């Protein structure tokens, strides 16, 4: 960031915006922080880094563009086209925290994105590399904002990046980049699947190593040069990882070599075997020992809010999969379970096409509990099951699910799985999918454990 007589504009005072304010304050940069939420609560964390006179709340006016040369935009903020046009016309600079990270970080950076699985892959990779004795830290869309990684010298920085973060980011230098998969998501913001695909592919720019999912038709293999691959099919060479099925059992292969059995790992489902394949591809691409990594992959357990089994009582298994914010993630969750399933579904819609869920719900689900802003839309779209119940909130949904589970158990003497896997965003009722998962678990544990 070049010197300017005008203060830097921070757009958005969420977690990322506060991390930018911290970074600028440490580096003695003058700034003003904007947030369109007029009723934004000024937390102690904000007060720590931003003086009250530097905060402007409410709708942005065009005149604010003339007051700044640099605009650092938080991922949760969508800049209106009229502002973007004026900023570009006036030759001003738009950056993100990822751009600043790119200028400031030490060590090697690994970048991971994807519609589903990116958090799991990031978590596995951080865990395994740390167990292998590497100084490593993950951030970005998971846990810490990216700039928090710049205050220490890590051997490996792992960035999980969402499409919101990639959208405005200009450049990311990394040793390895990977897209787990691309399915229709966030079209409420990106408008078309084509836009979304293009944004995801920005992660390949300036990467030393590109890792490709062989099975994903939305990943444009013909437009990039790559060496390493992973997928749910059989791998073809020693730079690829994949799955073989023998006698109904699944095995992970590295080229022609069998390296893991599904029974050896803690995670369930084919999608998690593919996640492990992608993680192993990264480990190979950065020159670390794949065989050494295997012992730690065997020990890795699930992450919070992703197929998290947190209670089993009275023949009812409760699973928190609040991280499932799109259709494909919920489909993967359902495919990984064999029990009688009562599915809790709903939230804020990111698509109008929930009919894709009909086939899997018809095959796997005994009853459906709908809640949230789009429960009526879901009720219209899902026609493959008759046992559908509407609830006003997640607590009421949990209680309806429990009561129906008791009926199944009394009638069939079979255990039941109650699965929260919403297939929707959380911000109709919650601050985040994490809060949704925490409150779901809290209610269940307080009332049913």
Question: Which domains does the chain possess?
Answer: 8-95 (3.40.50.720), 99-297 (3.40.1190.10), 308-448 (3.90.190.20)
Close Cβ partners of 222 (under 8 Å, ≥ 6 residues apart): none
What pLDDT score was predicted for residue 78?
Answer: 76
What pLDDT score was predicted for residue 419?
Answer: 98
Q: What DSSP character marks residue 59? A: P
- The residue whose two tokens read 């298994």 is 317
What pLDDT score was predicted for residue 92?
Answer: 87
In a 10 Å sphere around its CB, with 0-12 CB exposed, 13-18 middle and 19+ buried, how is residue 194 labelled?
A: exposed
In this prediction, residues 63-80 reach a mean pLDDT of 86
Question: How far is 75 from 17, CA to CA, in rounded Å?
Answer: 9
Close Cβ partners of 271 (under 8 Å, ≥ 6 residues apart): 116, 117, 332, 335, 336
Model confidence at 82, in pLDDT bands (50, 70, 90)?
low
What pLDDT score was predicted for residue 398?
Answer: 98
Model confidence at 85, in pLDDT bands (50, 70, 90)?
confident
H or E stretch covering 200: helix 193-201
What pLDDT score was predicted for residue 148?
Answer: 97
What pLDDT score was predicted for residue 302?
Answer: 78
In this prediction, residues 166-187 reach a mean pLDDT of 90
Q: Comparing 135 with 62, which gets the higher pLDDT?
A: 135
Cβ-contact 183, 216 below 8 angstroms: no
Close Cβ partners of 199 (under 8 Å, ≥ 6 residues apart): 163, 166, 167, 190
- The residue whose two tokens read 């450049």 is 171
Residue of 55, 59, 99 whose CA lies nearest to 83: 59
- The residue whose two tokens read 């796997």 is 364
Cβ-contact 307, 268 below 8 angstroms: yes
Query: How many CA atoms, within 13 angstroms, populate the side-chain half-sphere of residue 204?
Result: 21
* pLDDT per residue as tens digits for the range 212-225: 999 999 999 998 99
- For the chain, give the mean pLDDT: 93
- Predicted confidence (pLDDT) at residue 325 exceeds the cutoff of 70: yes
* pLDDT per residue as tens digits for the range 224-259: 999 999 999 999 999 999 999 999 899 999 999 999
What pLDDT score was predicted for residue 441?
Answer: 97
pTM for this one?
A: 0.84
Model confidence at 315, in pLDDT bands (50, 70, 90)?
very high
Q: Comparing 182 with 339, which gets the higher pLDDT?
A: 182
């Amino acid at each position: 960031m070049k010197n300017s007589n005008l203060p830097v504009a921070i757009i958005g005072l969420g977690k990322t915006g506060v991390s930018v304010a911290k970074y600028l304050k440490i580096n003695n940069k003058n700034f003003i922080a904007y947030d369109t939420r007029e009723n934004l609560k000024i937390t102690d964390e904000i007060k720590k880094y931003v003086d009250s006179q530097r905060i402007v709340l409410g709708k942005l006016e065009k005149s604010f563009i003339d007051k700044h040369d640099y605009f650092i935009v938080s991922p949760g903020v969508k800049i209106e086209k009229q502002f973007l046009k004026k900023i570009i016309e006036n030759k001003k600079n738009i950056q993100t925290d990822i751009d600043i990270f790119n200028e400031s970080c030490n060590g090697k950076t690994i970048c991971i994105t994807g519609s589903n699985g990116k958090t799991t892959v990031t978590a596995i990779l951080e865990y395994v590399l740390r167990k292998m004795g590497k100084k490593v830290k993950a951030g970005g869309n998971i846990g810490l904002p990216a700039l928090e990684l710049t205050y220490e010298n890590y051997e490996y920085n792992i960035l999980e990046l969402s499409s919101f973060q990639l959208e405005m980011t200009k450049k990311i230098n990394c040793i390895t980049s990977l897209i787990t998969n691309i399915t229709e998501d966030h079209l409420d913001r990106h408008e078309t699947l084509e836009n979304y695909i293009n944004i995801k592919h920005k992660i390949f720019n300036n990467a030393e190593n590109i890792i490709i999912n062989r099975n994903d038709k939305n990943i444009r293999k013909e437009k990039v040069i790559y060496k390493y691959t992973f997928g749910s099919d059989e791998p073809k060479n020693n730079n690829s990882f994949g799955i073989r099925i023998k006698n109904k059992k699944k095995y992970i292969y590295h080229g022609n070599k069998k390296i893991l059995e599904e029974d050896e790992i803690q995670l369930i489902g084919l999608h998690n075997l593919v996640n492990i394949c992608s993680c192993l591809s990264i480990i190979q691409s950065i020159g670390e020992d794949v065989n050494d990594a295997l012992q730690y992959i065997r020990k890795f357990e699930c992450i919070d809010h992703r197929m998290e089994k947190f209670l089993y009582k009275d023949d009812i298994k409760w699973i928190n999969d609040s991280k499932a914010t799109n259709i494909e993630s919920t489909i993967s969750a359902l495919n990984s379970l064999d029990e009688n399933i009562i599915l809790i579904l709903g939230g804020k819609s990111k698509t109008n096409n929930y009919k894709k869920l009909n086939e899997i719900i018809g095959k796997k689900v005994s009853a459906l509990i709908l809640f949230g802003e789009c429960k009526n839309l879901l009720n219209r779209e899902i026609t493959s099951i008759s046992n559908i119940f509407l609830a006003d909130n997640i607590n009421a949904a949990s209680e309806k699910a429990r009561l129906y589970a008791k009926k199944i158990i009394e009638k069939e003497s079979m255990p039941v799985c109650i699965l929260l896997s919403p297939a929707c965003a959380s911000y109709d009722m919650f601050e985040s999918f994490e809060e949704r998962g925490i409150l779901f678990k809290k209610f269940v544990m307080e009332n049913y454990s």
